[in-house]
Amino acid sequence: MGPVRARSTRRPLRLDVQRRVRAWTPRNADIARWAASALGRRAAGREIGVRVVGPAESRRLNARYRGKDKPTNVLSFPAAPLPAAARGSAHPLGDLVICAQVVRAEALAHGKPLRAHWAHLVVHGALHLIGYDHEREPDARRMERREIAVLRSLGFVNPYRSVP
Query: What band does 163 get if pLDDT is binned at 50, 70 and 90?
Result: low
* Average pLDDT of every residue of the chain: 90
Angle between helices 55-66 and 100-110 (to 10 degrees): 100
Cα(26)–Cα(107) distance, integer angstroms? 14
pTM above the 0.75 mark?
Answer: yes
The CATH class for the domain spanning 4-153 reads alpha beta
**Percent of the chain at pLDDT above 70?**
86
| pLDDT per residue as tens digits for the range 146-160 | 999 999 999 999 999
Integer Cα distance of 10 and 19 in angstroms = 28
For residues 82 and 25, the model is more confident at: 25
Asked if the bond preceding 138 is cis, omega within 30° of 0, the reply is: yes
pLDDT above 70 for 69: yes
**Per-residue pLDDT tens over the stretch 76-112:** 999 987 666 555 666 899 999 999 999 999 999 999 9
Integer Cα distance of 158 and 111 in angstroms? 13
List all residues 6 or more positions away from 50 whose beta carbon is below 8 Å from its beta carbon: 15, 16, 17, 18, 31, 95, 96, 97, 98, 122
Q: What is the DSSP string of 5-65?
A: E-SSSSSPPEEEEEE-S-S----HHHHHHHHHHHHGGGGTTEEEEEEEE-HHHHHHHHHHH
Give 5's strand partners.
14
| Nearest to 147, CA basis, from 128, 129, 120 | 120
Which secondary-structure segment (H or E) carries 124? Answer: helix 114-129
Domain ranges of the chain: 4-153
Buried b (16+ CB within 10 A) or exposed e, 97-125: bbbbbbbbebbeeeebebebbbbbbbbbb
